[in-house]
Amino acid sequence: MTVVAAVAAVTAWRRRLVSRAVQGGWRWVQEAGAVSAERPGRLRFARIGTGTRLAFPQGTVFGEPWIELGEHCVIGEQVTLTAGMMPGLDLGPEPILRLGDGVVLGRGSHVIADTAVTIGSNTYCGPYVYITSTNHSYDDPQVPVGKQWPRTDPVSVGPGCWLGTGAVILPGARLGRNVVVAAGAVVRGEVPDHAVVAGAPARVVRSWDRERGWQPPLRTPAPVPIPEGTTPEQLLALAELDPDPS
């Protein structure tokens, strides 16, 4: 081996070593910086349920005494949770931002509660979902919009909903049970149970009828659930099967 090759080999080995150290260190930081009921750190929520975890790094979080998190919630990295228009306000005796059990907030999502915001149990949000109870007003054409007093209106997201990536839920929105919000949709007003909404502004594009089922009908077959008792090893074996034996 030439001297140049030997130096290159040592350099590559050092880079691999540094890379492993950095990745291992970052995993340790993520684990140490995560927030849970057992390790709340500086955050003092009104309630944080068993099994709930806020990934590190967290986004902006303030007004924690008026934020209630249910059990087994998953809150991704850089998620913003705020109660009140600014830190340090007294918002009264009751929480104004409530997450039910099993709520998932994807990476980079924002939940802004200047007045009551409720997200029902087992609602899943993709990355970068924006839920807010506040909107800028522009009544006075002589005053910059950002300096005019905003309008607030409570927001309610029912249980079992799915909010796609980049969905925006505006003040006053009231979503029923098991509502699907398409990626990028902008939702205002009331959405009935078992509806699919899409667009900006969002409109109902599919709904469920007790007698006729989904209207318009679904274009894909229902997924086949995994049989009870299936082990992880069996699932791995299935994944390795060649779907085209020819």
> Which H or E run contains 148?
none
Closest CA to 132 of 151, 113, 159, 158: 113
Question: Tokens standing for 181?
Answer: 């919000």
- Cα 100 to Cα 37, 68, 146, 244, distances in angstroms: 15, 8, 32, 44
Report how far residue 67's alpha carbon sits from residue 53's, in angstroms, rounded to the nearest whole number. Answer: 14
Catalytic site includes residue 136: yes
Q: Which strand ranges, in their side-by-side order, compose the sheet holding 110-113?
A: 61-62, 80-83, 110-113, 130-132, 168-169, 186-187
CA-based nearest residue to 85, from 135, 17, 145: 135
Q: How many CB atoms lie within 10 A of CB 145?
A: 12
Could you say which of 72, 110, 136, 194 is catalytic? 136
CA distance linking residue 163 with residue 111, whole number of Å: 13
Catalytic residues: 136
